[in-house]
């Protein structure tokens, strides 16, 4: 029996409206009616009493509905089981940052290549993440990270001020907040980076410093900042697009957390992959 028809049947029982079911399942009303008619032919029984503006379940429909729900659920369970048995692990990468910790672990321990098929996928945001993504290596994000993930901090990165080589501040070994008075400093927009939001709280004590908020640390961010000749507040390791800039550590008692986002409801292969990562990184 075609479980797709059963799924349509279950939904029609819920909506009691062919048009509403068609809208919910993104098909035409005629396609819904056609599938219901075929199911009635297959079962050799009438499932719905059609009326002008509504439909009613027949006694047969009421009786088989619980079984139909169970069959649809069993199919979903089978798909989940097959999916969980897959050895493919997908690692999400964002911005201009390569997954350096992942690459080092994979290079260090041959078990990764022997036991898993590892794929990498570029992410263009941290919401509505593809369900195939198992891990994301990045800096600690804020409001935009998908709720399906937890964060494991692994490194603590220094904060830098990036500037053109001809900027007078480039002659200093470290940068104090007072040094930035009169300058415009580019940072990611509020609510994206935990590090950036914390630093901005300290910048608030220095009204002479102008903060320019842009989206995320991508090519557009760096292009805008360089075009406008802004200084850039950045964590160590996000400098791929700033080849012509010099970096000076900001005198601040904060560090950016860099690590691994992993799914809370991970598949069995993903759990094994995570345990192997922890073992390879010697985090026990």
Domain residue ranges of the chain, discontinuous segments joined by +: 3-84, 88-154+258-280, 159-254
Is the Cβ–Cβ distance between 190 and 197 less than 8 Å? yes
B/e letters for 133-169, b = 16+ CB within 10 Å, e = fewer, are bbbbbbbbbbeebbeebebbeeeebebbbbbeeebee
| CA–CA distance, 229 with 70 (Å, rounded to integer) | 63
- Across 60-69, 112-121, 151-160, 263-272, the highest mean pLDDT is recorded for 60-69
pLDDT in the model for residue 173:
95
3-class state of residue 176 by DSSP: coil
Predicted local distance difference test score (pLDDT) of residue 8:
92
Given pLDDT bands bounded at 50, 70 and 90, which one contains residue 182? Answer: very high
The torsion angle over the Cα atoms of residues 21, 22, 27 and 30, rounded to 10 degrees, is: 120
Q: What is the pLDDT of residue 268?
A: 85
Q: What is the arithmetic mean of pLDDT over 33-49?
A: 93
Asked if 3-84 and 159-254 have one fold, the answer is no
Task: Fold for 88-154+258-280, please state it.
Answer: D-Maltodextrin-Binding Protein; domain 2 (3.40.190)
Mean pLDDT computed over 189-195:
79
Residue with tokens 């001809």: 166
Is the pLDDT reported for residue 183 higher than 90?
yes
Q: Which helix (H) or strand (E) holds 113?
A: helix 111-115
Give the tens place of pLDDT for each residue, 129-170. 888 899 998 888 765 566 788 888 888 989 999 999 999 999
pLDDT at residue 87 in the model: 75
| For residue 184, pLDDT beyond 90 | yes
Asked if pLDDT for residue 1 goes beyond 80, the answer is no
The pLDDT tens digits of the residues spanning 99-119 come to 888 888 888 888 888 888 888
pLDDT tens column, 204-238: 999 999 999 887 777 788 888 889 999 999 888 77
Q: Domain 159-254: which CATH class?
A: alpha beta
Q: What's domain 3-84's architecture? A: Orthogonal Bundle (1.10)
Mean pLDDT of 41-48: 94
- At residue 196, the pLDDT reads 86
What was the pLDDT predicted at 95? 60
Least confident of 75-89, 158-172, 181-195: 75-89
Q: Cα 222 to the chain's mean position, in Å?
A: 22
Determine the pLDDT at residue 23.
Answer: 86
Q: What is the pTM of this model?
A: 0.60
Q: 10 Å Cβ neighbour count for 65?
A: 17
> Residue 92: pLDDT band by 50, 70, 90 thresholds?
confident
């Amino acid at each position: 029996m075609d479980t797709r028809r059963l799924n349509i049947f279950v939904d029609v029982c819920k909506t009691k409206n062919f048009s509403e079911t068609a809208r919910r399942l993104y098909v035409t009303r005629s396609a819904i009616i056609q599938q219901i008619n075929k199911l009635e032919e297959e079962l050799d029984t009438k499932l719905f009493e059609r009326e002008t503006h509504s439909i009613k379940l027949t006694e047969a429909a009421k009786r088989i509905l619980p079984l139909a729900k169970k069959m649809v659920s069993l199919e979903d369970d089978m798909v989940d089981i097959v999916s969980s048995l897959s050895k493919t692990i997908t690692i999400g990468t964002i911005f201009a940052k390569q997954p350096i910790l992942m690459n080092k672990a994979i290079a260090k321990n041959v078990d990764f290549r022997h036991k898993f098929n590892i794929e990498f996928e570029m992410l263009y945001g941290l919401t509505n993440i593809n369900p195939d993504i198992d891990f994301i290596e990045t800096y600690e994000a804020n409001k935009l990270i998908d709720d399906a993930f937890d964060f494991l901090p692994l490194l603590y990165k220094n904060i830098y001020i990036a500037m053109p080589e001809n900027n007078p501040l480039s002659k200093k070994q470290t940068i104090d907040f007072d040094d930035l008075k009169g300058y415009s400093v580019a940072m990611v927009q509020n609510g994206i980076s935990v590090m950036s939001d914390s630093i901005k709280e300290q910048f608030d004590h220095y009204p002479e410093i102008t903060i320019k908020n842009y989206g995320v640390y991508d090519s557009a961010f760096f292009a805008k900042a360089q075009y406008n000749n802004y200084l850039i507040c950045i964590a160590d390791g996000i400098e791929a697009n700033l080849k012509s800039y010099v970096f000076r550590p900001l005198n601040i008692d904060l560090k950016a957390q860099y690590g691994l986002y992993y799914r809370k409801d991970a598949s069995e292969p993903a759990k094994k992959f995570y345990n192997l990562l922890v073992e390879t990184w010697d985090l026990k």
